[in-house]
């Protein structure tokens, strides 16, 4: 029994701003479409996966799915119904027993929901994920904002995807629909119904919503964030000695001082400790392993570069920064007067609200190298949340 999956990503009409079609907008460090496609590509019971795309999106598409084991994409048609038919036609050589059709714009499809649709397909030729209506339905009076009638909601469902079908039957149904004169069907279950196929309703999931509007995209981001359950704390520590100069770099700010800090880069000891804390939370090495101090190109480098690199690693893992905490140990310069400016600069650099950024200074009571004024030490902590 072979089950193929067709992921529909050819739509380009509705855009949520910018030039990217909504299925390529960023969600948790990758394209929205990557989540939808992965759910099928990684499901044990699903074999070949093909995505139907717009010709305009080919490059964006290839970047979004690199690393996933997929069939070559096919180019869709002018309307969704035609795009699905072209996708089904393209699978004819493979002749799968069953096909699951899913909208790329539903990124929260779960393996369990795919299982439920497949289980229903063991009983009949069609099955769709759907949610029973909970709200009372009102019909609006024409040209007013008043209610003309209350519609009985008993037995009414909202259809979602995936929708699964016996392959030969849904292909035949789509070919017949393409020949018929009527308006396009809005989903594949309707195509199947028109062909007389029995389609079973399978319990869907409110989280399996379709991202259509800007509000939907916000909801998707909130939902994704709420699922970041792998909380990690990383720590970093760095020391730089004083040398010739008239300022020190701390937290990205140049603070006038009678001496400077010695280092290969701009010697921002605070941003170095912070970079290590971020990389440690990800267990992805340390600043020295990514930016070897001997390399010419890091000579005098702005240490913000190192922080941005660590933040990009976090984004690539689909994670979020929750909190950072820096303790700067030195006799001079005084940290307290600079604290708010440092937090503001870190907020900008980390794209994090200041309420999640702590900066404090302490002396070491005249003891040790910091007490003798030989250098500055910084201890940093970062809390991150990763998927899982």
Per CB under 5 A, residues contacting Mg ion are 238, 272
Name the residue with the smallest CB distance to Mg ion.
272
Separation CA 78–CA 76 (nearest Å): 7
Separation CA 33–CA 72 (nearest Å): 15
Query: In the complex, what is the shortest distance from the CB of residue 127 to Mg ion, in angstroms, rounded to a whole number?
Result: 59
Query: In the complex, what is the shortest distance from the CB of residue 238 to Mg ion, in angstroms, rounded to a whole number?
Result: 4
The alpha helices in 164-268, defined as continuous H runs, are 167-179, 188-194, 214-226
| Residue number, 157 or 237, with CB nearest to Mg ion | 237
Separation CA 328–CA 334 (nearest Å): 10
Separation CA 36–CA 9 (nearest Å): 10
Please return the burial class of 339, using the count of CB atoms within 10 Å of its CB with bins 0-12, 13-18 and 19+: middle
Query: In the complex, what is the shortest distance from the CB of residue 284 to Mg ion, in angstroms, rounded to a whole number?
Result: 17
| Residue number, 84 or 274, with CB nearest to Mg ion | 274
Query: In the complex, what is the shortest distance from the CB of residue 258 to Mg ion, in angstroms, rounded to a whole number?
Result: 21
| Residue number, 107 or 236, with CB nearest to Mg ion | 236
Tell me the angle at which helices 167-179 and 80-90 cross, rounded to the nearest 10 degrees. 140
| Residue number, 238 or 325, with CB nearest to Mg ion | 238
Q: How far lies 158's CA from each of 112, 116, 153, 187, 315, in Å?
A: 19, 17, 11, 11, 34
Polymer length in residues for the chain: 388
Separation CA 53–CA 108 (nearest Å): 19
**Is the CA virtual torsion 17, 20, 26, 31 positive or negative?**
positive
| Residue number, 221 or 264, with CB nearest to Mg ion | 264
Residue 305 and residue 357 in contact, taking contact as beta carbons nearer than 8 Å: no
| Residue number, 187 or 276, with CB nearest to Mg ion | 276
Query: In the complex, what is the shortest distance from the CB of residue 268 to Mg ion, in angstroms, rounded to a whole number?
Result: 8
Structure tokens at 5: 């999956």
Query: In the complex, what is the shortest distance from the CB of residue 283 to Mg ion, in angstroms, rounded to a whole number?
Result: 20
Nearest to 270, CA basis, from 291, 287, 298, 250: 250
| Residue number, 174 or 272, with CB nearest to Mg ion | 272
Eight-state DSSP code of residue 246: S
Query: In the complex, what is the shortest distance from the CB of residue 310 to Mg ion, in angstroms, rounded to a whole number?
Result: 14
| Residue number, 272 or 343, with CB nearest to Mg ion | 272
Query: In the complex, what is the shortest distance from the CB of residue 348 to Mg ion, in angstroms, rounded to a whole number?
Result: 21
Residue 111 and residue 19 in contact, taking contact as beta carbons nearer than 8 Å: no
| Residue number, 240 or 320, with CB nearest to Mg ion | 240
Query: In the complex, what is the shortest distance from the CB of residue 159 to Mg ion, in angstroms, rounded to a whole number?
Result: 57
What lies within 8 Å, CB to CB, of 205 at 6+ separation is: 108, 110, 113, 129, 131, 160
């Amino acid at each position: 029994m072979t089950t193929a999956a067709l992921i529909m990503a050819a739509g380009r009409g509705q855009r949520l701003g910018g030039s990217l079609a909504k299925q390529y907008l960023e969600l948790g460090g990758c394209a929205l479409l990557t989540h939808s496609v992965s759910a099928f590509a990684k499901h044990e019971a699903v074999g070949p996966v093909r995505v139907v795309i717009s010709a305009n999106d080919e490059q964006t598409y290839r970047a979004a799915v690199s690393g996933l084991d997929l069939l070559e994409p096919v180019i869709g048609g002018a309307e969704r119904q035609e795009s699905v038919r072209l996708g089904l036609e393209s699978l004819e050589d493979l002749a799968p027993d069953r096909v699951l059709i899913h909208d790329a714009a539903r990124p929260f499809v779960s393996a369990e929901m795919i299982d439920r649709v497949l289980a229903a397909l063991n009983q009949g030729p069609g099955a769709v994920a759907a949610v029973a209506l909970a709200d009372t339905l009102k019909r609006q009076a024409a040209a007013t904002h008043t209610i003309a009638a209350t519609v009985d909601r008993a037995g009414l469902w909202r259809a979602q995807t995936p929708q699964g079908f016996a392959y030969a039957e849904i292909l035949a149904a789509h070919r017949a629909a393409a020949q018929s004169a009527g308006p396009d069907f809005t989903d594949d279950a309707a195509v199947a119904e028109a062909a007389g196929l029995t389609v079973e309703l399978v319990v869907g999931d409110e989280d399996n919503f379709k991202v259509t509007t800007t509000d939907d995209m916000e909801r998707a981001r909130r939902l994704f964030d709420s699922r970041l359950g792998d909380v990690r704390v990383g720590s970093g520590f760095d020391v730089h000695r004083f040398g010739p100069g008239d300022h020190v770099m701390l937290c990205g700010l140049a603070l006038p001082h009678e001496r400077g800090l010695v280092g290969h880069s701009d010697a921002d000891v605070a941003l170095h400790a912070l970079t290590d804390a971020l990389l440690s939370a990800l267990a992805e090495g340390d600043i020295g392993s990514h930016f070897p101090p001997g390399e010419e190109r890091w000579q005098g480098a702005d240490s913000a570069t190192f922080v941005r690199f660590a933040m990009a690693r976090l984004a690539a893992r689909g994670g979020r920064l929750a909190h950072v905490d820096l303790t700067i140990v030195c006799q001079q310069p005084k940290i307290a007067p600079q604290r708010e400016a440092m937090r503001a600069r870190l907020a900008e650099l980390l794209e994090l609200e200041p309420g999640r950024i702590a900066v404090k200074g302490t002396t070491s009571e005249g003891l040790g190298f910091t007490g003798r004024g030989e250098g500055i030490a910084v201890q940093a902590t970062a809390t991150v949340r990763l998927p899982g």
